[in-house]
Structure 1
Amino acid sequence: MLGTFIGRLTHAVDPAREALVPILSEPAVLFGWAVAVAAALGALWWDLRERNTGLSSLMNGVWGLVVLYSGPFGLAIYWLSGRQQMAHDSLWRRGARSTAHCFSGCGAGEVTGVVVLVGLVAIQNTLVTTLGTFALAYLFGYALTVGPLLQDGEALSTAVRDALYTETPSITVMEVVAIGTDVLLAGEATIGTALFWGGLIFSLSLGFVAAYPVNVALVAVGVKEGMSDPTAAKGSDASAA
């Protein structure tokens, strides 16, 4: 039954795959994206250093990873939801910060899993690669929540329980979409091809989009807090949108 469902899903997305694969397989596109990511990281670094020094080191790291994974798209998310210069906070911005926090850890797990299993270990079994990548994405995602809780004095058992409760829905949706997309687009690609990296990049950002409404809902019902309000950080200047 699962095989039938996967077959139907694959057939349904064939038109999108046929349109995307040639683009993602083009080295020039990958090079252009790398340049855009470098520029976005430079802009983020300058803004954090010059205008948003009140943000926590955790969120600085989160935004750095988000922009590294998603380039200008990640920078736009930071600009709209993570700066001290926002006029006010909102549910939608809290949801974006919560998704970014999840994305930074899960993305690290996904990239590590795909690169290590496909590139270094050279595993050709799609199921093994998929399960291994899922496991690392969960591990990294939970760790990014458990670590700060332990630093705040929480017991390990309490921190793990909180992470499982608050992060599992978001991680699950994010990784089902991201890893599923990567398998559909670049499941047969090797690490030395543009499609391998292009599929990974595209799938990561798609996972963020899928998990965003989940995080908004979790923040709305009080399961998650949505990370700290940057407008309340020391030295904030609410002079921009």
Structure 2
Amino acid sequence: MQLTHVVTQVEHAFEPARELLKPILSNPTLLGAWALLVLVCVGVLWWDIRERNGALPSLMKFVWTLVALYSGPFGLAIYWYSGRTQISHDSLWRRGFRSTAHCYSGCGAGEVVGLVAIAGMLAIGSTLVQAAGTFSLAYVFGYALTVGPLMQEGEGFRTAFADAFYSETPSITIMEITAIGTDLLLAGGAKFGSPLFWGSLAFSLSVGFLFAYPVNAALVRFGVKEGMMNPKKMGEGSAHSAD
């Protein structure tokens, strides 16, 4: 009963925001325009990586592609600020953005796969099942994107998983609570094929990123996470090799 009361209070508090956003997120024309904008942003990203930032590791090229797919111009701006070899200098804020982007790419994939599989392929309409399944898959994908590279570097599975659990759990948890909570608030009960289902999913992913960013920046600041390598150094190394 207490949980139900809390949920009701939260819904009441955010009712003005929901009333404002739902017509926008359920508009097919705006959703189509957003999809086109996302494709343009991904194209710009790939062009920049191919022409100017080929020195970036394959993993980060994949990460930035997913970030741009999830968040369009917002994701592209984050890449431009913190992920290119041309950045003027590195900083805690840029490292925080790279760390959040890495977490975001895996968690976002888990959310999309979870919702498509549960609400679409399995046609399960239960909000609780959708939330639980999506939450679980976000952890699986989020951990996998850390465990995999660590094992490639020679760590055993147990050690790699322990490292991922220790460093990624706080940011994944905050990201998923806010992203899934936003999605349920805006589109709870929406049909799989409705514009609101997809518009709310796209919007909620970016909300999750924003809330997870300060958590990742703090984890980097206190040495829990490394925050991904400085891309500027990769560019300098590539230039020296070419010389």
Instruction: Work out whether the TM-score is over 0.5.
Output: yes
In the alignment, what sits opposite 1:186? Answer: 187
Letter paired with 1:46: W
Shift of 1:235: 2.8
Runs of 4+ in 1 over 6 A off after TM superposition: none
- How many residues in Structure 1 have an aligned counterpart in Structure 2? 237
In the alignment, what sits opposite 2:32? Answer: 31
Cα distance in 2, alignment partners of residues 216 and 223 from structure 1: 10
Within-5 A mapping of 1:70-149? 70-149=71-150
Question: Where does the alignment leave 5 or more consecutive residues of structure 2 unmatched?
Answer: none
In the alignment, what sits opposite 2:227? Answer: 226
Cα distance in 1, alignment partners of residues 38 and 58 from structure 2: 21
In the alignment, what sits opposite 1:21? Answer: 22
Shift of 1:2: 1.0
Letter paired with 1:158: T
Cα distance in 1, alignment partners of residues 32 and 128 from structure 2: 30
1:158 lines up with 2:159 in the alignment: yes
Cα distance in 1, alignment partners of residues 225 and 196 from structure 2: 36
What secondary structure sits across from 1:235 in the alignment? helix
In the alignment, what sits opposite 1:167? Answer: 168
Shift of 1:232: 0.4
Letter paired with 1:94: R
Cα distance in 2, alignment partners of residues 236 and 62 from structure 1: 23
Letter paired with 1:235: S
Deviations 1:33-71 (A, max 9, x none): 011001000000000000001100000000000001001
Q: Would you say the 8 A contact 1:69–1:204 is kept in 2?
A: yes
Letter paired with 1:71: G
Deviations 1:102-134 (A, max 9, x none): 000000000011111111111111111100100
Shift of 1:236: 6.0
Length-normalised TM-score, structure 1: 0.97
Deviations 1:158-216 (A, max 9, x none): 00000000000000000000001001101111111100000000000000000000000
Question: Where does the alignment leave 5 or more consecutive residues of structure 1 unmatched?
Answer: none
Cα distance in 2, alignment partners of residues 89 and 218 from structure 1: 16
Letter paired with 1:81: S
Shift of 1:229: 0.5
Cα distance in 2, alignment partners of residues 139 and 67 from structure 1: 21
Query: What is the alpha-carbon root mean square deviation over aligned residues?
Result: 0.9
Cα distance in 1, alignment partners of residues 101 and 162 from structure 2: 21
RCO higher in structure (CA 8 A, sep ≥6): 1
In the alignment, what sits opposite 1:53? Answer: 54
Decide whether aligned partners of structure 1 residues 86 and 236 sit closer, same or farther in structure 2, where only a CA change above 3 A counts.
Answer: farther
